[in-house]
Structures are given as C-alpha cells and as structure tokens.
Structure 1
Amino acid sequence: MKKSSTQSLTYSAILIALGILIPMIMPVRIILGPATYTLASHVPIFLAMFISPGVAALVALGTAFGFFLTSTFVVALRALSHIVFAVLGAWYLSRHPEIVSHPRRFMKFNIAIGVIHATCETLVVTIVMFTGQIEPMGIWAMILLLGVGGFVHSLVDGTIAYTVSQQIGVRFKFPVYLKAQRKDLKS
C-alpha cells in the first residue's frame, strides 16, 4: 500500500471518528425540529476538504452513518447531503490551493460553501416534509431555520476548521497546504 493511500485512510478514520464524537459530547447544541446546530460538528468535514475529494467524501459518508445510528431520519439525511459541499469544496481547493494562503479568499470560498451547504440541507428537509415523513413547517420558518441558520452554522464551522488547519495543515501534510506552500515559494 502506498504511503499516500495509508495516510488518506488514516486521516479519513480519524476525521470520521471526530465527526461522530463531536455531536455526542459537544455541550453547545440547539435542536429546533429538523434543524439542529452543534458547534464544530462540520469541522471534520471541512478539514477533510483540505486533504482530497476522496477523503472529504469518506468523512461525509462516515459522519452521516453516525447520524443514522444516533439521530432522527431527517437529521441523518441532512448529514448525508454534506457529501455535496464536501466533494465540491475539496475539488475546488485541490485546484486552487492558494486560497488557504489568503484569509479573504478563504472567506469568499467559505461563503460559497455555506450557500451550497444550506441549500442542500433545506432541499433535503423540503423533500422529506413533502413526503409526509415530518410535520410541515412554514416556508419562512424553513428558510430561516435551515437556510439562514445552516448558512451561519457552516460559516462558523468553516472558520474554525480554517483556523485549525492554518496551524496543522503543513505539519500534517494536508495536500492543499503543501500545494499552496509550493505556489507561495514560486511567487
């Protein structure tokens, strides 16, 4: 087995474990119907985005599996929708690693990911609501709770992950950080 595949598998396992553990032990948690907000619950997925699209997909799937075991069906489906923003974000970062070297560029990236994240979660809850699996809620309540609330939650967790990765990205050999470092040296 190649070193990089062993490393990716190790990162995936650690981040999946963190992604399952954080919602179980984090004291800051808000539950409002199908909308749940647990501080730092998306951080492992965001960290996986700095590694590769494959690792991001595995971490999103692994954490979703954890939610299927420990949470309601709709919350688990929302977690499963994270694969969309995780893979898209990781793909974009792998092609534009210089983003991590510029906080303003990362904030723009984080905003775009937040929009994708909140949109996917809102769509999932809308579909589940229309199938009769959960109590209907007003469109404005859904937009406010899932759309705006999910967007803000994504921004907070993305910022936490960026702050952590700024400290460990090169040391732990996250590919996006190594590529960004090489580009910075060429400049």
Structure 2
Amino acid sequence: MADPQVEVRRSRRRRRTVTAYREGDTVIVLLPAQMTRAEEEHWVAEMLARLQRSETRRRSPARTSDEALLTRCAELSARHLGNRAVPKSVRWVPPMRTRWASCTPADGTIRVSERLREVPSWVLDYVLVHELTHLLVPGHGPNFWKLVRDYPRTDRAVGYLEGLSAAAGWGITEED
C-alpha cells in the first residue's frame, strides 16, 4: 500500500494531544505548535499506524463483493435464524434515499445500500439479520422483532444507524 499524503497542522492552543483523521485521500495530523521536528516525525508515524489499525479493524470481508455479502448472510442465518433464511441473491446497490437495505421475500433478494460499506461490521451484520428475517416474517410485528433480537447488538446497531442518519441529514429511519 502506498504511503498516504500527510498534512501536518500545528496549533498554538493544542498543548499535549495529537490527533489524526482522513480528509479525502489525505491524512491530517493535528499536533501542538511547540513540538520538535523529531517529535513530529515520531507522532506522524505513530498516528498513521493507529489510523491503519483502526481502519483494518472496521473493514469486513463482506464489504468487498456481492458474493462475500451472500456468504456473510449464510453465516448469520446459521447463527441467528437456524439456517431458515436463505436469500437467492444479496448485492450492494447505490445509496438508497430512505432505507439502509431492502428485501423482496417473493424472489429472495436483498439489496444493501452502499452507505453501509464503511460502518462497523457489527452494524452491517445487524442490517443483514434484519433483512434475512424479512424472508421469514413480513412486516415489523412482534414475531419479526423476536427473531431480529437474537442478534445481540441489535439495540446498539439501531442507535448507531439513527445517529449516522441524523448526523448526515439523510432522514433514514430504522424500520426500512
């Protein structure tokens, strides 16, 4: 992997902390103005390594292809739905305006919004379990939620998605 472009921003107000984040293809490193060049070199390398570790942890193999999504659905169906939900196809689609994903039980297809490519894997797993459950139970009644709640991070994932939608101004609600 090629080294990313790095932009160092020094701040007189910043006294002790060093922060790094991505802005497009550039990594921005914020550090105190009084830091020496040697300290800067150390902290830039350290923050690049931390950012790389963080991004690697967040990546899920299911993000790479439709086939990987289908494989992940099979794993989740086995673990949480007794292998009863078997989609015919699962695919990434361009960002949906009002949903994270959708399911058509009649033909066994699940479509997942590209907006979910960068969420933590446990959030993507929740969305997949939600859609897999629609293959078994139509609507969002008590029987539906009883099955979905077998996924242990349901409440946390719902909160994550609500926060993401609100912060981005997307207006996507939890109930697809």
> Which structure shows the bigger proportion of residues in helix conformation?
1
- More RCO (CA 8 Å, sep 6+): 1
TM-score, L = length of structure 2: 0.28
User: In terms of Rg, which structure is larger?
Assistant: 2
> Which structure shows the bigger proportion of residues in strand conformation?
2
TM-score, L = length of structure 1: 0.27
